Every structure is written in structure tokens, then in C-alpha cells.
Amino acid sequence: MRGLMHRFLTRSLIAGVVIVAVAACSDDDDTSDETTVAPATTSASSDTTAGGAAPVDLAAVCPDPLVIQTNWFPEGEHGGLYEMVGEGYTVDTDQQAVRGPLVAGGQDTGIDIELRAGGPAIGNQPVSVLQYTDDSITLGHANSEGQLLRYDETPVLAVVAPMEINPQMIFWDPEAYPDVETLADLGEQDVTINVFEGGTFTEVFVAEGIWNADQIDPSYDGSPARFVAEDGAIAQQGFASNEPYTYEHLEEWGRPVRFQTLHDAGFEVYAQMLAIVPDRLEELRPCLELFVPIAQQAAIDYIEAPDRANAIIIDAVERYNTFWTYDEGLAQYAVETQRDLGIIGNGPDGTLGNFDEQRVQRVIDQVSDAGLDVPEDLTAADLVTNEFVDMNIGL
């Protein structure tokens, strides 16, 4: 449960301690399913589907609804998914799911899309485990290290990568460590790095000599309390799309932090890929041929004009009425960060959403070399496919 589980714990515990977004509320306690008219589409592609083509009809080839099991509550990193939710969507507060017409560039595709919350909403189960017990799930979120470590039990095949760069990072106080610019610098200065126990990336970085094993403190509980209490004397795990904003707006801290993503430090996993159970490939192939390019374009539409999708995200979070909160300020920060850092962006070949198999193979080798349990004959082709990706779609 390593990679995704840490995301779940980080999000839940931080949200439970730090109130940085509008308090979750609901005027719909007596109903679990209410229809909402989505705000008017502002995307530049609102009159066309991906690439300016005619409207796409998914009714004959895709499940209805097309269900995507996400890895967390609605948030900006899921923006491209909510970009595909059309007007008249409903929010099921019991199941914590958003359902509405699946739209491509604002045009109805003939089926519904259902986006299900993950993390605590599914008992913190890995998404791949749920995909093997719930046949109604069409696609689920996956990340590279999770695929590797659970391949023997619940293998999944990723078909598109809306997120080019994993937003996980390590952050530190630039006032305490003005000379630290990278994660390798943290290692050289022997700074204590507070993380959740069992992180794959820590084992990789220690194996590669970037960090020393004795500087890793796996006692992080998701709270900012220790970082604040030690006045930034330690470094800490987080997400580039969340914690820098959170800490700068935290009353007890209230100043910038500096960070480097795990990706830029050399651990280039793919995060929040959309993946299927491999045994369903033939069944879903006609659907994926049409849907994957829609998902690619939706990520672009979101990053270019996020307001409509962000409004759905914030609405859903408020109605779910859990510890998780999300407001316009954090949503806007997440968009800007994902755009500026290339988290949602093109790969080296100018395409958004495709996979670099050499990059995936490097991750396999890194995790294996760190001594973790990886099937001996596993290759990138077992984990990802570019079969359905439209190589002409990019930012």
C-alpha cells in the first residue's frame, strides 16, 4: 500500500489539523443525491471536441456510466476528470461520487461519467485492489511504484497519464537552510527528513546515496505541528500543489517554504495515471480508443480554463462534508503550480498523456535495486501502453 497510502495519510491528517480552505458544509443533510447545473463552460474548446472534430459518441462502445475510481477526495490534481463532467451533474453524498453527462469540449458524448472519491472514502484501500472487487469501475488511478509493488496480486495497465510529473516533494525552510536547493543538498547537510513510514522513494534515495538512512525519520503524522515547533529545523514530505500554499497561509508558520519534487530529484514515477484491469483490455478497447483522447484534451482544457471544473470540485467537497476542505485560493494555487512546474504538461515529445517506456523501466530498475520486491521479469510494457493515446494532442 506504499505510495498511494502515503498520499491518503498525508492528505487526511494535514486536512484534519490545518484549516486552509473553506469549512466543509452541507445544506443537503436529508438527501444524498442532488442535481446541480454546472457553471457555464469557459474552456476555449467549448464548441468542439478534442482537436476540433465532430462530437464523439461513446454510447455504443463505453460502459454507462463510465466509472473512474480516484485516489482521493476531489482536488485540483483531478481537474481534468471534472472537466469531463457536464451540466446537471449530481453529488451522491453517501457514496461520495459525482455523476453527470460525460462531455468532450462541452459536448455530450451520450453517456454519463461517475467520479468516485478515494482514500478514506474507500477505507484507504489501494485503488487497484478495489478494481478487482468492483466490476463497475472502468478505470482507476494508479502510480508507478504502486503498480510495481502490487503487480503480483492486483496488476493494472495504465492507458493514459494526464499528469506528466508526480507532485510529491520534500520541503524545507529556506531561512534555516539558505544553501539547500535540492534533495541531494539535504543529504549532504544531514538534515532530518520527516516522512511517513515505508515510503518507496526514501528507500530508493538511500540506495542511490542521495540520503543517509540515519537522517530519515519515518514518524511523520501528517500534521504541521513538528515542523512548526522545530521552527523549520527539519525537512518534510508533501505535495507541490498543496503544502507550499497551506504553510504560507498557516497562522503558526505564515512564510514560504522551498521544495524539490521527487521527480526532479531523479525518481520519475508517473502519478494518477488512468489504468484498467488487464483482463478487461479487449472488452474496453473500443471505448478506450475514443475516450483516452478525450481525457488528454480535458487535461489541457482544465489547465487553460479551470474555473468551471474547480467549481464542481469545491461543490462536491462541501457536500461530502468530511474533514477534507478545498477553497478557491488553494484550487487556483494548484492550477498555477501544475502549469508552471509542468505537472500537467507535455512529455519531451510534445504529447500530453503518453508514456516514456524508458522512464518507466528506470523506475522498475530503481525500485528493484533498492531491494524492494519487484517481479524479476517485469517490463514497462506490462505496466503502460500508448495504444490509445493521440500523439497529436499536447499543450
Q: Is 275 within a domain?
A: yes
49: pLDDT strictly greater than 60: no
Q: State how many domains the chain has.
A: 2
Q: Take residue 68 and report the three cell numbers written for it.
A: 473512474
Residues 207-220 as b or e (16 or more Cβ within 10 Å = b): bbebbeeebbbeeb
Mean pLDDT of 131-159: 96
29: pLDDT strictly greater than 60: no
Residue-wise pLDDT tens digits, 259-290 = 999 999 999 999 999 999 999 999 999 999 99
Which of 17, 23, 14, 72 is CA-nearest to residue 271?
72
Residue 338's CB: how many other CB atoms inside 10 A?
26
Q: Is 107 within a domain?
A: yes
Q: Is 389 within a domain?
A: no
Residues 216 and 276 in one domain: no
354: pLDDT strictly greater than 60: yes
Residues 152 and 220 in one domain: no
Residues 368 and 319 in one domain: yes
More confident residue, 43 or 92: 92
32: pLDDT strictly greater than 60: no
Residue 283 main-chain phi, psi, to 5 deg: -60, -40
Q: Would you state the pLDDT for residue 22? A: 31
Q: Would you state the pLDDT for residue 86? A: 97
Residues 75 and 135 in one domain: yes
Q: In what order do the strands lie in the sheet with 235-239?
A: 216-217, 193-194, 235-239, 168-172, 258-261
Residues 373 and 282 in one domain: yes
Long-range pairs for 128-136: beta carbons < 8 A, 24 or more residues apart: 128/154, 128/155, 128/156, 128/275, 129/153, 129/154, 130/69, 131/69, 131/156, 131/275, 131/276, 131/277, 132/277, 134/69, 136/63, 136/67
CA distance 157 to 155: 7
Residues 173 and 285 in one domain: no
Angle at 295 between CA 294 and CA 299, to 5 degrees: 115
Mean pLDDT of 85-104: 97
Residue 243: alpha-carbon gap to chain centroid: 15
- Determine the structural domain holding residue 194 and report its residue range: 168-261
Confidence category of residue 221, pLDDT binned at 50, 70, 90: confident
* Percent with pLDDT over 90 in the chain: 82
Contact 303, 338 (CB under 8 A): yes
Contact 117, 73 (CB under 8 A): yes
Q: Of 207, 240, 261, which residue sits at a domain end? A: 261
Q: Is 394 within a domain?
A: no
Residues 37 and 147 in one domain: yes
Residues 113 and 142 in one domain: yes
Answer whether the bond into residue 65 is a cis peptide, omega within 30°.
yes
Residues 174 and 231 in one domain: yes
The CATH number linked to 89 is 3.40.190.10
Which of 25, 5, 6 is CA-nearest to residue 325?
25
Q: Is 390 within a domain?
A: no
Q: Would you state the pLDDT for residue 41? A: 42
Which of 143, 151, 79 is CA-nearest to residue 274?
143
Q: Of 261, 289, 322, which residue sits at a domain end? A: 261
Name residue, grid cell 463505453: 62
Residue-wise pLDDT tens digits, 154-196 = 999 999 999 999 999 999 999 999 999 999 999 999 999 999 8
Identity of the residue numbered 125: Q
Mean pLDDT of 105-112: 95
Query: Helices (H) and strands (E) in the chain — how many of each?
Result: 12, 13
Residues 213 and 336 in one domain: no
Q: Is 193 within a domain?
A: yes
Residue-wise pLDDT tens digits, 232-259 = 999 999 999 999 999 999 999 999 999 9
Q: Is 237 within a domain?
A: yes
Contact 371, 207 (CB under 8 A): yes
Identity of the residue numbered 40: A
| Mean pLDDT (the chain, rounded) | 88
21: pLDDT strictly greater than 70: no
Contact 260, 147 (CB under 8 A): no
